[in-house]
Amino acid sequence: MGGTLKIPQQWRPWTMVAAAGCLFAGIALAPLLWPFFGLLDTAGPAAASGIEASQWALLLRSLGLSLAVVIGALLLGIPAGLLLARGDIIGRQALWAIQVLPLFLPPFLLALGWFYLFGRRGVLGNDLSANLLFGPVGHIAVLSLIFSPVVVVSISLSLWRLPSSLEMAARTVASTRRVLLGILLPAVGPAIGLGALVVFVLAFSELGVPMFFGVDVYPAVVFSMLGGVDYDPARASMLALPLFPLIVFLALLERRLGKGWVFASQTTPLAECAPLHLGAWRTGLSLLLWLWVLASLLPIAGLLSKALAGGASGQGVQAWLGDSLANSMTGAAVAATIIVVIGTLVGYGVARRIPGARLFEGVGLLAFVAPTALLAVGLIALWNRPLTQWVYAGPGIIILGYVARYGIIGVRSLAMAVSQSPVSLEQAAASSGAGFFRSFFCIVLPLQARVMAASWLLAFVFCLRDLESAVLYYPPGREPLTVRIFTLEANGPEPLIASLALIQVMLTACIWVALFWLFQQSHRRRY
């Protein structure tokens, strides 16, 4: 029986995708389904008491708040997206790059920055501004501003892929305004829908901003039963259940919107064409967009002013920082690496239509659209057992949470990149005698190296900014920087908190520069 296991050539792609996909499903799907099984085990007082009417009302209120954030983000993001992607706005590329930065930062830090500016004791604050900030208005306004780049990015990526002839055909008969509103805007309708959906998901899962502004939201109730004085995981499972139909609906909606329109692709994409002339509107619109971007960066100025206000010595900052920065970096780096490995294998399967791959992609999608409270309940129930304490009590649980929540980033980016690479390149390798694995490792992977690097950075930055999931299950002494800032904020000295926040901002800014450089390399424009 000394023979080695030989996988037939035709099964090799499927085997590879299935192995990665099953690992991914184990990490991402099991925690989502676990609350159901957990409830069957503990069908006692918690299940019997059900969900109170006030909690249903809170769920509805949270959905309403998230919808309001979506509307705010769309109102800002749609005009900005159209103009930045296709208008001859002054400093267009720089603006596009800068506007993304707030999205990469933990929303809670930006809320903190707004508080330092417009809180009662803030640089520009008074009673009115503080009252507005600490309530639904502040919550909706701050999150709308932070998440509007999602809409801008979604519109831009969709517009840049459109064949230029669609726009040219419109320009032969209509003015720039009509081309933008009559042709380009409807053409990116599905992308706008997709952006709105992502904003909704992010807004609904957001924990730091509503808790900081004192706005009651449903995920915060689940959080209080996992990490607070009301500790009751069984009840948290019960509360998480109504979220399940919501995520299935959101995942199906995403699949529908993701299809978009089918465009002819013989002509040059719009990314390579000169922008549309805005004529007399150019200066005014450019000014408005610069104001919008500067406003979104204003909270960083708030953090800076507080940090410079005094009282934050280097030693003090280091002491308060502890191991949290290292925890953040190592956790995010390991998770990003796993995300890219799984994403490359499953994404390849999706692009090449290998059976089962779409199913695994769907798992990643479910885990992403799932409110973090649901994911956290499952992760805790699944891993908080005597046999798996080595995972639960160490950095493993945070890494698993990151991979589950952000795994879709790797799958989607690699699927998109591989699908744009001609299959004939692999067919040529096969006709030259290369087996599947040789073709995959020598042809596919080197071609996608840049996308893999970008995908790693993107996953890294999303793990780094994560507060809402890590805060629910971080092991003692292993908290990442975002959680450290969040937990210290209530009682810590403000200049020190602001300094810690600025460390997070600077770290993110470095990654953002690297990401933008990679993005520019792959979207070089002719003009």
Partner 1 sequence: MNPVIRFDKVQYAYGKHTAIRSLSFSLHPGERLALLGPSGCGKTTVLHLALGFLPPSEGNIYIGDALASDQGGIIVPPQQRGIGMVFQDLALWPHLSLLANLTFGLAARGIPKAQREERAMAMLARVSLADKATRFPDALSGGERQRVAIARALVLQPRVVLLDEPMSNLDIDLKRDLMDLCRQLFTENHSAVIYVTHDLREALRLCDRFAVMEAGRLIQLGTLEEFRSDPASGFVNSLLRELD
Name the residues that contact partner 1, by CB under 8 A: 163, 165-166, 168-175, 178, 182-183, 186-187, 189, 261-267, 526
Residue 438: in which H helix or E strand, if any?
helix 436-439
Task: Compute φ and ψ for 87, nearest 5 degrees.
Answer: -90, 155
CB of 278 to partner 1, least distance (A): 12
Amino acid found at 299: P
CB of 177 to partner 1, least distance (A): 10
Which residues does residue 87 pair with via DSSP β-bridges, in sequence order?
276
CB of 274 to partner 1, least distance (A): 9
CB 376 within 8 A of CB 469: yes
Nearer to partner 1, 187 or 470 (CB): 187
Nearer to partner 1, 390 or 527 (CB): 527
In angstroms, rounded to a whole number, what is the distance separating the alpha carbons of residues 206 and 200? 10
Of 244, 242, 249, 246, which Cα lies nearest the Cα of 55?
242
Nearer to partner 1, 94 or 274 (CB): 274
DSSP 9-53: GGGHHHHHHHHHHHHHHHHHHHHHHHHHHHHHHTTTHHHHH---H
CB of 82 to partner 1, least distance (A): 15
**Burial (0-12, 13-18, 19+ Cβ within 10 Å), 127:** exposed
Of 204, 107, 196, which Cα lies nearest the Cα of 153?
196
Nearer to partner 1, 126 or 175 (CB): 175
Residues 6+ apart with CB under 8 A from 400: 27, 379, 383, 391
CB of 489 to partner 1, least distance (A): 47
Nearer to partner 1, 163 or 492 (CB): 163
Question: Which stretches of 211-263 are assigned E, i.e. beta strand?
Answer: none
CB of 233 to partner 1, least distance (A): 48
Nearer to partner 1, 126 or 265 (CB): 265
Nearer to partner 1, 40 or 173 (CB): 173
CB of 176 to partner 1, least distance (A): 8
Nearer to partner 1, 179 or 454 (CB): 179
Unique residue bearing structure tokens 């901002």: 505
Nearer to partner 1, 190 or 227 (CB): 190
CB of 262 to partner 1, least distance (A): 6
CB 491 within 8 A of CB 117: no
Helix (H, G, I), strand (E, B) or coil at 207: coil
How many angstroms separate the Cα of 524 from the Cα of each of 59, 384, 463, 510, 517? 45, 49, 28, 21, 10
Q: How many CB atoms lie within 10 A of CB 389?
A: 12
Nearer to partner 1, 255 or 277 (CB): 277
CB of 188 to partner 1, least distance (A): 9
Task: Compute φ and ψ for 209, nearest 5 degrees.
Answer: -65, -50
CB of 157 to partner 1, least distance (A): 17
| Separation of first and last alpha carbons in the chain | 65
